[in-house]
Amino acid sequence: MTVSPELSTPRTASPELLRSVFRRHAAGVAVITAHGDGPVGFTATSLNSVAAEPPLVSFGVGVSSSSWPVLAEAEYIGVHILAEHQTDLAATFARSGADRFAPPTAWREGPEGVPLLDGVLAWLVCRVVARVPAADHRLIVAQAVVGDPAGPGRPLLYHQGRFNALRD
């Protein structure tokens, strides 16, 4: 077997290796919301389509996240796909300690009481069907019950540690 000269020496798996590899993975940007005593939400780049029938999605959330206590109990959650013009919204929901639902964030109460963000590319309200332990995170699996794919714009991406837009 011939080794390509472009390949570097493999490194032992570590948190830094995982972060370095996934900095190279462009991911769509979503905001997950839920309602407890008040609305909660966070920016997620771990959103995945799991199955079409039934329509299932998944995402990861850290148990140290301020949103986790509500997500640990919520029956329904909101999934919002952000548009390229929503970098400020993505940053707000990623910032620890921010009042994420204060102005200028525009939102309303949606189906099942889920907070829905205005102006997003697409959204779903989903019923949580599983919470799977994964180290210091939980993998949430949820079934879509209602949504709207017709928002304006193009998707916001996360790559190399920052928010990006698609290039033409």
Grade residue 122 by pLDDT with cuts at 50, 70 and 90. very high
Q: Examine the pLDDT at 166 and tell me if it is beyond 90.
A: no
Q: Is the pLDDT of residue 4 over 70?
A: no
* CA–CA gap between residue 73 and residue 76 (Å, rounded): 9
What is 16-147's CATH number, 2.30.110.10, 3.30.565.10, 3.40.50.1700, 3.40.718.10?
2.30.110.10
Band (pLDDT 50/70/90 cuts) for residue 134 is very high
The vertex-60 CA angle with 87 and 137, nearest 5°, equals: 125
Q: What is the pLDDT of residue 82?
A: 97
Q: What distance in Å separates the CA atoms of residue 113 and residue 39, rounded to the nearest whole number?
A: 9
**For residue 97, is pLDDT > 90?**
no
| Domain spans, the chain | 16-147
